[in-house]
Structure 1
Amino acid sequence: MEDYAKELEASFRSIKEGDIITGTVIAVNEEEAVLDLQYYAQGIIKAEDMSGDPGFNILEDVKVGDEIEATVVKTDDGEGNIKLSKKEAVQVLAWDILKGYMAENKNIQVKISEIVKAGAVAFVEGIRGFIPASQLSLTYVEDLEPWLGRELEVRVITVDEEKNKLVLSAKVIEKERAVEDINHKISMLVPGSILEGVVESLMPYGAFVSLPDGLSGLVHISQISQKRIKKPSEVLTVGDKVKVKVLNTNDNKISLSIKAVEENSEADEMEAHQAAEYSSKEEATTSLGDLFKNLKF
Structure 2
Amino acid sequence: MEEKNTTMGTTETMEDYKEALEASYRRIRPGDIVTGTVIDVNDQDVTIDFNYYAPGRIPVTELSDDPTYHVLENVAVGDTLTATVVKTDDGAGNMLLSCKDAAEELAWDKLQEAQKTKKVYHVKVAGAVNGGCVAYVEGVRGFIPASKLALEYVEEPADYLNKELDVQVISVDEGAKRVVLSAKELLLAKVMEEKNKKINKYTVGTVMEGTVEQLKDYGAFVNIGDGITGLVHISQISDRRLKHPSQVLKEGDKVKVKIIKIENNKISLSIREAAELTSREVEEEGPAEYEDNGAAATGLGALLKGFKLN
Place the TM-score, normalised by the shorter chain, in its bin: 0.7 to 0.9
Match of 1:80 among 71, 80, 93: 93
Deviations 1:1-40 (A, max 9, x none): 4652222111221111211011222223332222222112
Matched residue type, 1:181: E
Q: Secondary structure in 2 aligned to 1:65?
A: coil
Which of 272, 276, 295 is residue 285 of structure 2 equivalent to? 272
Alignment partner, residue 198 of structure 2: 185
Cα distance between partner residues in 1 of 2:230 and 2:40: 63
The residue that corresponds to 1:283 in the other structure is: 300
Residue 282 of structure 1 and its aligned partner are, at CA, apart by 6.7
Distance across 2 between alignment mates of 1:281 and 1:174? 58
Tell me the residue number matched to 1:37. Answer: 50
Gapped regions of structure 1 (runs ≥ 5): 293-297
For the structure 1 residues 234 and 11, does the alpha-carbon distance in structure 2 shift closer, same or farther, using more than 3 Å as the test?
same
Q: Which digits, 9 at most, give the CA deviation of each residue in 1:171-193, with x for residues without a partner?
A: 10010111122222222112222
C-alpha deviation, 1:232, in angstroms: 2.1
Identify the residue that residue 295 of structure 1 maps to in structure 2.
Answer: none
SS at match of 1:261: helix
Say which SS state the counterpart of residue 205 (structure 2) adopts: coil
Of 125, 149, 157, which aligns to 1:112? 125
2:227 equivalent to 1:214: yes
Which stretch shows the higher mean deviation, 17-26 or 137-146? Answer: 137-146
Looking at structure 1, the residues matched to 269 and 141 of structure 2 have their Cα atoms a distance apart, in angstroms, of 49
Give the TM-score of the pair, scaled to structure 2. 0.84
1:118-140 deviation line (CA, Å, top 9, x unaligned): 21111111111111121111134
Q: What is the number of residues matched between the two proteins?
A: 289
Contact kept, 8 Å, 2:135 with 2:142, in 1: the verdict is yes
Distance across 1 between alignment mates of 2:162 and 2:289: 71
Letter in 1 for 2:273: A
Counterpart CA distance in 2 for 1:57 and 1:249 is: 50
C-alpha displacement of 1:203: 3.0
**SS at 1:211 equivalent:** strand
What is the rounded CA distance, in whole Å, between the counterparts of 2:133 and 2:148 in structure 1?
A: 10
Alignment partner of 1:136 out of 149, 162, 185: 149
Q: Per-residue deviation at 1:199?
A: 2.2
Percent same amino acid among aligned pairs? 48
In 2 relative to 1, CA 13–204 (structure 1 residues): closer, same or farther, beyond 3 Å?
A: same
- C-alpha RMSD of the superposition: 2.7
Q: Does 1:14 align with 2:14?
A: no
CA shift for structure 1 position 275: 6.9
> C-alpha separation between the residues in 1 aligned to 2:49 and 2:198?
56
Q: 1:231 to 1:144 in 2, by over 3 A?
A: closer
Equivalent position to 1:126, from 134, 139, 145: 139
What is the CA distance between 1:93 and its match in structure 2?
1.1
Could you tell me which residue of structure 1 aligns to residue 250 of structure 2? 237
For the residues of structure 1 that align with 2:30 and 2:284, how far apart are their CA atoms? 92
Deviates more, 1:63-72 or 1:200-209: 200-209
C-alpha distance in structure 2 between counterparts of 1:194 and 1:81, whole Å: 77
Amino acid of the residue matched to residue 196 of structure 1?
E
2:214, 2:220 within 8 Å by CA — same for their partners in 1?
yes
- Scaled by the length of structure 1, the TM-score of the pair is 0.87
Distance 1:181 1:29, change over 3 A: closer
| Residue of structure 2 in register with 1:262 after alignment | 275
- Greater fraction of residues in helix: 1
